[in-house]
Amino acid sequence: MTDPRLTPIAASLPSSVPFVGPEAQERARNSAFDARLGANESVFGPSPRVAEAMVQTDIWKYGDPENHELRQALAAHHQIKSANIMVGEGIDGLLGYIARLFVAPGDHVVTSLGAYPTFNYHVAGYGGTLETVPYTVDHEDPAALFAKAKETQAKLVYLANPDNPMGTWHDGETLKKALDDLPQGTLLVLDEAYIDSAPTGTAPDIGPDDPRVIRMRTFSKAYGMAGARVGYAIGAAPLIDAFNKVRNHFGMNRAAQAGALAALQDQAHLASVLEQIATARTRIDRIARDNGLTTLPSATNFVAIDCGRDGAFAKAVLDGLIARGIFARMPFAAPQNRCIRISCGTQNDLDAFAAALPHALADANGG
Amino acid sequence: MTDPRLTPIAASLPSSVPFVGPEAQERARNSAFDARLGANESVFGPSPRVAEAMVQTDIWKYGDPENHELRQALAAHHQIKSANIMVGEGIDGLLGYIARLFVAPGDHVVTSLGAYPTFNYHVAGYGGTLETVPYTVDHEDPAALFAKAKETQAKLVYLANPDNPMGTWHDGETLKKALDDLPQGTLLVLDEAYIDSAPTGTAPDIGPDDPRVIRMRTFSKAYGMAGARVGYAIGAAPLIDAFNKVRNHFGMNRAAQAGALAALQDQAHLASVLEQIATARTRIDRIARDNGLTTLPSATNFVAIDCGRDGAFAKAVLDGLIARGIFARMPFAAPQNRCIRISCGTQNDLDAFAAALPHALADANGG
């Protein structure tokens, strides 16, 4: 029963969840997963300094609505001004604010078919019309995205580099050149959630005050703080200030603010995590090959394994893994949904995955 | 410079902050406050179990988007169903979702003149038109609010019981009877942030499935977890489900979820905090009387002190307190702005306040 008092947009929206959480799946199967490899969390965890900083926080105090200390530290880290940085409740929260600022009913927004569903959720939530372009050889295609933006006079175009769910990436120079064809009036939302684990040169060399682009970064991936909800946007100062029109000013968790600051200050821990990610990527590739499968190159903390057939087959493999206690996910759209997506895990996690995969494949092959 | 790509509503909004945080004031005065008595935080802190639960949380994992365990525990605590409960990022976050669900440009919303600015911020942020009615003898006036809602065909009417910033309250029976005059088509947003410190019987005895009302509760006040951002709404199941249309599903901090659960399970700590609040209220009243001032009766964790003259005088007193290291706030609208608002503090906090007040009053009186 829809409440008759809802706005027309709200009434038209489904009560949907972009992703079902692993806890809900565990409740449904009445058993905990043995390996949590589905949400691209960092099982390697945050710096030990994060827990110290969080536990020392006076949680009875509201967080600083200006996120002053964290923004100052991020500005120093990136050698930009704090006026170019907006801290928010994860990239998800920031994407919601961006959609709210730019998307009114009838506005067009461009993304890749099968890219991040939560971005699409926010765009639809404000009445926007999504336009999609297919991946090109499992890469997001900047030229095609920007051409579609021009064709549809899009307000926003979304591009993740490195990409989720495929793990592929473009080098920064390629992206920077592609920007020449971004139409005037379109803002590029460049999701760099996975940039920390990407090769040097993947982040395009564009100034923070470039009004064409807003970049999204996070402490949820390589920094190991997904549960803390700390993301930030880098963009031109007037655009950054526009978040103050709509954001939940006191929305940041105070311990998360302190934890993110501590995480940023422990770059040695980040470096060690990046080594563990690299080791895990190699191991996942090895496990795939041991089972006659191939993987896509990855600049992220996960690897897409090509199951070699169609989406139904990959879904059967995925179901077989989940039935065996391995939480994983897969791309939504064809032909990328021939793959399953495995987050980098510990040696134990990947042992469990290696043990389960042959059985899941056998099931999918009809036993 | 306003970005020409913003939506018309976004372009029309100021980049404002409903409240300036104490940290910003400390940076401006280049000195920490001696007593933090301005944001109605609970200086008495949360249960010690909260820190234990938070530090044991795997912060590398996203929080459960269904908030299952916390909702189950809250349902048991209130003896209602979890389908009647929505957990969100503080009451502020939930009020934002409510405004988004119900308020489209041109829709009317009723509140008291001088009531919670963050609610007004959210309503304006979705293009709503605010209608206000004055306080009656420093109490919010349900009959006047509901009459104004009828007159303006309002989508929402906001009422805090107990009230902030005055600390006054109505008993539950009075509110329940007043609901008879709530017009059809208007939803009452009943903010019960301060209900834990109110006398028994302040919460109206209305069922969770009553479609006329949505109630807001929080762990930010008596439970001492303002920095964690955990609030919840109680309402009819279809209304609660509507939040799933627009909320940031993975927006809850995982440690905050665990901390709130631990806080709820330590009712003995809550009881001891309520005693400390009662003691502090009495002390604040005593300090006021020692300075020739009176206080308003309070059902909250703060006390409004009537400075006896106009808003300019109270503002001068407030400025004098702030200059002496006492963080406090005051009501925004006349005639309630003849008061200043002092949160319940520790003995040390209130010693500092007692020491500063005579000087602040002397300043305000022209030295």
| Model pLDDT, residue B19 | 81
A367: pLDDT confidence band, cut at 50, 70 and 90?
Answer: low
Mean pLDDT along residues A277-290: 98
Of the partner residues A16, A41, A55, the one whose CB lies closest to the CB of residue B244 = A16
> Do you find a cis peptide bond into B4, omega within 30 degrees of 0?
no
B229 contacts in chain A (CB < 8 Å): 63, 250-253
Of the partner residues B23, B50, B93, the one whose CB lies closest to the CB of residue A248 = B93
> How does the average pLDDT of chain A come out, rounded?
97
Taking only the tens place, the pLDDT of each residue in B95-109 is 999 999 999 999 999
A19 contacts in chain B (CB < 8 Å): 65, 249-250
Mean pLDDT along residues A20-36: 95
| Model pLDDT, residue A128 | 98
CB-CB contact of B246 with A99 (8 Å): no
Taking only the tens place, the pLDDT of each residue in B10-40 is 999 998 777 889 999 999 999 999 999 999 9
CB atoms within 10 A of CB A266: 16
Axis-axis angle for helices A68-78, B22-29 (nearest 10): 70
A210: pLDDT confidence band, cut at 50, 70 and 90?
Answer: very high
What ipTM, to 2 d.p.?
Answer: 0.97
The three-state secondary structure class of B44 is coil
Test mutation, A50, A58, A59, A209, chain B, max B CBs within 10 A: A59
A250: pLDDT confidence band, cut at 50, 70 and 90?
Answer: very high
Taking only the tens place, the pLDDT of each residue in A47-95 is 999 999 999 999 999 999 999 999 999 999 999 999 999 999 999 999 9
Contact B90 A251 (CB under 8 A): yes
B281: pLDDT confidence band, cut at 50, 70 and 90?
Answer: very high
Phi-psi region at B318: left, alpha or beta (left = phi > 0; alpha = psi -120 to 50): alpha
Contact A225 B15 (CB under 8 A): no
A17: pLDDT confidence band, cut at 50, 70 and 90?
Answer: confident
| % chain B with pLDDT above 70 | 99
Contact B23 A68 (CB under 8 A): yes
Of A290, A310, A295, which is closest to residue A341 (Cα–Cα)?
A: A295
Per-residue pLDDT for A1 more than 70? no
Mean pLDDT along residues A96-115: 98
Test mutation, B2, B7, B344, chain A, max A CBs within 10 A: B7
Contact A5 B185 (CB under 8 A): yes
| Model pLDDT, residue B367 | 67
Taking only the tens place, the pLDDT of each residue in B146-179 is 999 999 999 999 999 999 999 999 999 999 999 9
Cα Rg of chain A (Å, integer):
20
Mean pLDDT along residues A30-40: 97
Query: Residue A87 has which token pair?
Result: 């801290």
Q: Identify the structural domains of chain A with CATH numbers, from first to last.
A: 20-43+268-364 (3.90.1150.10), 48-265 (3.40.640.10)
| Model pLDDT, residue A18 | 72
| Model pLDDT, residue B15 | 86
| Model pLDDT, residue A265 | 98
Mean pLDDT along residues A5-31: 91
Taking only the tens place, the pLDDT of each residue in B110-138 is 999 999 999 999 999 999 999 999 999 99
CB burial readout A278-310, b (16+ within 10 A) else e = eebbebbbebbeebebebbebbbbbbbbbbeee
Contact B60 A227 (CB under 8 A): yes
